[in-house]
Structure 1
Amino acid sequence: MTDSLGRFTGAIAKSWDGPAIRAQLQSINQWLNDVGTQSLSEGRDRVVCAQIEVEGHFQKVAVKVFARQNRVKDWSDGRRGSKAQRSFDAAVFLVDHNLHTPEPIAWLDRWENGRLLESFYVSRFIDALSFRDALAVIYREERDNAPLMAILHRVAPAVRRLHDAGFFHGDLGNQNILIPRAADGEWLEPTFIDLNRSQTVSEPLSDRLKALDLARIALPGAYLDIFRMIYSDHEVFPAPLAALEGKARQWFWRHRRNSQWRHPVRTFKKWVQRTPSSPYPSDADFWLWDEKSAQPMIALGPAEKLRQRDLSDIAAMLLRGLWAAPGLFLRYQKIKALSFTRPVELKQRIGVALHPDPDYIKPELKLLHALGNPPVLVRFCHHETPEQWAAAVELVRRLKSRSIPVMVALLQDREAVLNPDAWREFLFTVIPLIADAVDRVEITHAANRSKWGIWKSRSFAELMVPVRTLKDRYPDLEFVGPACIDFEYLPVLASLAVLPKGLTFSGLSHLLYVDRRGAPENKQGAFSTLEKSILLKAIADGSRAVENRVIVSEVNWPLKNAGVWSPVMCPYETPAWRIEKLG
């Protein structure tokens, strides 16, 4: 119900109404100009944090100050209610339906001769990051999959409850979802703000309205797919809704990209102020670690990854493959003919990997002893802390004291590519500490997988530059690589071709997985693990950049019911995987 509040018309929530509150609201311009007022967001419609006195105590409130608008919009708002009034009514709806929004306090309008001169919406202040800013912290500072998955498991169901209650937000961007966080880091229930474009209906939203809301959620493609499944109660995102959402998303983000032409003055101001267009990293720079599967996550969708590919790099790789193919085929045939012609001692040729995590290193060492103390691989990751590196060094020393052969792998992240000095410091910190305790060092990891931070061959070459100095400094230490992954040998040829002048590997290391084959003898086309290994040997035999021996430094074997701990299923167990597991 509209009330008169001095020179304003508006309404006050019953739980807040009283003479003292009315008096303060009637002088809202005065206390908005108080020195204690804090700006929360700038723009045409700005938001400030102010204090209001309630029964002798001051409480923080958020005030949205709506800007003047043209006559047509004033005429429209005079009939359907101002933005402030619509925000208040929408907030009341959410509160009545047990959905989270800052508690509505009041709305105030000042009209004169059919023109809306001043308009304010007042709500309780909530000290929380927006979904947008929380994601920026995760992407740029934490760089960890766990808090991202935790926040998706909070936000997606909250959006679904919003829609099931018949509430269409109308501007459901990441910036309009607040996500409080407890002291222990746990994300709390999301809160929805900026409600003036909303609509309400008496039943769950239609797919069309759901799609319009969901289209504004900004996430990298792979995580957007996860968000959709969580929104769908952990089921497959319905095809009709997916089609509508895809069209709405395409239109909305094209509209956003074209804003520079529609708002040239605003764009120029941002350029002058050096304001970044997005708080998030570029698609190429997304890098999030998953501790459960001990690998970075695939963050981008197929289309996003395709946009980052360097066509000239791909063309050069294909040409190298064509050039090498005839000689490679001849060497392959020759080596294959020698297979199984003499016995091979396998003792000390097959090892295991250990990780110095305090939660499970003790049982790992016990299992190692039960296996007869085979060779061990220990990984050092660039993204880890110096304390974690120290723990890995301690493990290497411990194994050395037991006369257990050790190989070390040094793994890059995207930051290593972007900051070569940090990568160099990492190498020159770790290697001197373990050089006398290990047999060999593998440099970089899965360079042919963009999730590990390398998009181009020249980026791999730059990571190799410090290795040349280290090899001269430690002549008895073997450096092996390029440690590409899977049955993809064109990247192996490309990596060997771009090694810095004067650098050669002491062995060709490769990560050869068999999980999608089911067993080593199962073939991928004409190639089982035997033929794949022979082809690797043929590459090493014909390259001047590597000595003629092959080290398969990583093999995985599928374990049933591993869930999100599996490198294939992490970070989310999709409906298809759940069905397969139950079957």
Structure 2
Amino acid sequence: MKEPFKWDNYSDQAAILTDKNFKKKMRKKEFFSLLKTLFTALIILPISIIAMPFVKRKEIDSKNFFTLGVDYQRESEKTLELLDELDVESILVRIKLWELETLSELKIFLEANKGRQITLKILQDREHIEDLELLEKDLMYIFSELHDLVDIFEIGTTINRAKWGFFSVDEYNRFFTIAYKLKQEQFPDIKLIGSGVIDFEYHYTVHTLFNFTPYKYDGVSSLLYVDRRGAPENLQLGFMLSDKIAILGSMITLSPKSDHKLYITETNWPIKGTAPYAPTSETECVDEATYANYMLRYYLLAFASQQVDYVSWHQLIAPGYGLIDNRDGLQKREAFETYKFMVKTLKNAQFLRLDIKRSYYILQFLVDEQLLQIHWSLKDTILRNEDYFNVYDKNGKSINDETLKIGASPLYIFITQEVGKKVNCL
């Protein structure tokens, strides 16, 4: 990467930008763009929040909803075996614009995954942001080589963090326009998504959806992390995960610049005791059991929104935040089994409803014409295990106890009696 930008190979992300004078200088240069971001958000965000109840739910393809991020340069042969074991049908892969010499290696990996839906996230660097001719040349190379193998191209990422290279939405708009121009002129069948805003900083997202730059998204990408708030149900400025998704859905519906598609292309929780591999400080890190619980609940809440086309978990193999730790061989974490059972059970599920009462959550699905309820509670309670229940823990282990402990770890309850029988807590 071009100085002063660097890559952190431990956490697989851009390193912290330490040159404060450079950051100050660049932000000053982009002052008017930042001003546009502020004023656009002041107008659009309140309207989007008001419009939330009127946004129609979509029919979500559950088969591709459970998407998994993978690294084509990390244990590639074993990765293919693990993807088969998990039965994942949708993956996300990243390519760095400054490392295009690895594109032939990527192409081999993508060809081995032809049966899966593939999203390619194209990571930017400052050189390609500044040199749009270079960007056009390299995007042309990527699209030419991979357009038959990739279903969705995500153009750029994490645009609201200076360490990733962008200092304003205007810079990103110019960047995305190059990709859109290539689509219009030479690759009309490819799908382009953006803008890859990270966290609950929707003033940036608003500016990417409401501007006069001549481009259009085939869908909106969001890196909707909530790890700094702890559990996915926790509030930030009065909004929990479901509300944040609803606001995004509302903005996309109101915007003339995007199809009504929303992709969460990156999220996770960092794991305790994995520094320097964890992407955040130890304060945000959680133990492996909590990681598995949060992951499952995040997926369930996003699925229940019926607004998110997929959630891509970041990622399969990574010491600090992955389903598998590769510091000493490949060690499957508990979350691997949680993910596996989630996909197995829900990949063909039809969502029915979500009920929340006093921090007790019940999701209902129809799975192979059988009613499935998934229960969890933020306050520990118990539920009678009825004769017509078939109960499994989050990892697929059968539970036959007389009473069920309902807490942070969701339980899958198949109803074997007539559909719609009411379940009563003790």
Does structure 1 residue 495 correspond to structure 2 residue 208?
yes
Could you tell me how far 1:433 is from its partner in structure 2? 1.1
Task: Quote the RMSD (CA, aligned, Å).
Answer: 2.6
Does structure 1 residue 315 correspond to structure 2 residue 35?
yes
Cα distance in 1 for residues equivalent to 2:237 and 2:143: 40
Question: 1:305–1:382: structure 2 CA closer, same or farther, 3 Å change rule?
Answer: same
Q: Return the letter of the residue paired with 1:364.
A: T
Does structure 1 residue 300 correspond to structure 2 residue 23?
no
Contact 1:479–1:505 at 8 Å: present in 2 too? yes
Normalising by structure 2, what TM-score?
0.62
1:311-362 per-position Cα deviation (integer Å, ceiling 9, x unaligned): 3222211110122134212222323xx67xx9966332111111111x5223
Q: Return the letter of the residue paired with 1:539.
A: M
Provide the residue aligned with 2:45 in structure 1.
325
| 2:258 match: secondary structure | coil
Cα distance in 2 for residues equivalent to 1:567 and 1:390: 28
Question: 1:514–1:325: structure 2 CA closer, same or farther, 3 Å change rule?
Answer: closer
Does structure 1 residue 378 correspond to structure 2 residue 93?
yes
| 2:11 match: secondary structure | coil
Contact 1:461–1:499 at 8 Å: present in 2 too? no
Provide the residue aligned with 2:105 in structure 1.
391
Match of 2:194 among 481, 487, 493: 481
Cα distance in 1 for residues equivalent to 2:14 and 2:235: 28
Q: Return the letter of the residue paired with 1:331.
A: A
Cα distance in 2 for residues equivalent to 1:499 and 1:425: 25
Cα distance in 2 for residues equivalent to 1:525 and 1:543: 24
Could you tell me how far 1:428 is from its partner in structure 2? 0.6
Does structure 1 residue 450 correspond to structure 2 residue 166?
no
Q: Return the letter of the residue paired with 2:67.
A: G
- Which has the larger share of strand? 2
Contact 2:76–2:109 at 8 Å: present in 1 too? no
Contact 2:66–2:88 at 8 Å: present in 1 too? no
Contact 2:45–2:206 at 8 Å: present in 1 too? no
Q: Return the letter of the residue paired with 1:490.
A: H
Contact 1:457–1:498 at 8 Å: present in 2 too? no
Contact 1:457–1:495 at 8 Å: present in 2 too? yes
Match of 1:418 among 127, 130, 140: 130
Provide the residue aligned with 1:348 in structure 2.
64
Cα distance in 1 for residues equivalent to 2:36 and 2:91: 36
Question: 1:519–1:347: structure 2 CA closer, same or farther, 3 Å change rule?
Answer: farther
Provide the residue aligned with 2:405 in structure 1.
none
Cα distance in 1 for residues equivalent to 2:100 and 2:279: 23
Could you tell me how far 1:304 is from its partner in structure 2? 5.9
Contact 1:353–1:377 at 8 Å: present in 2 too? yes
Q: Return the letter of the residue paired with 1:445.
A: T
Match of 2:180 among 451, 462, 468: 468
Cα distance in 2 for residues equivalent to 1:423 and 1:304: 23
Cα distance in 1 for residues equivalent to 2:66 and 2:32: 39
Could you tell me how far 1:498 is from its partner in structure 2? 4.4
Cα distance in 2 for residues equivalent to 1:460 and 1:418: 11
Normalising by structure 1, what TM-score?
0.46
| 1:351 match: secondary structure | strand
Number of positions where the alignment pairs a residue of Structure 1 with one of Structure 2: 284
Percent sequence identity over matched residues?
A: 26
> Which structure 2 residues correspond to residues 171-320 of structure 1 after superposition, within 5 A?
286-300=4-18, 305-310=23-28, 311-320=31-40
Could you tell me how far 1:445 is from its partner in structure 2? 0.8
Match of 1:564 among 266, 271, 276: 276
1:181-239 per-position Cα deviation (integer Å, ceiling 9, x unaligned): xxxxxxxxxxxxxxxxxxxxxxxxxxxxxxxxxxxxxxxxxxxxxxxxxxxxxxxxxxx
Could you tell me how far 1:363 is from its partner in structure 2? 2.8
Runs of 5+ in structure 2 lacking a partner? 288-426
Could you tell me how far 1:469 is from its partner in structure 2? 2.6
Could you tell me how far 1:555 is from its partner in structure 2? 1.1
Contact 2:69–2:91 at 8 Å: present in 1 too? yes
- Which has the larger share of helix? 1
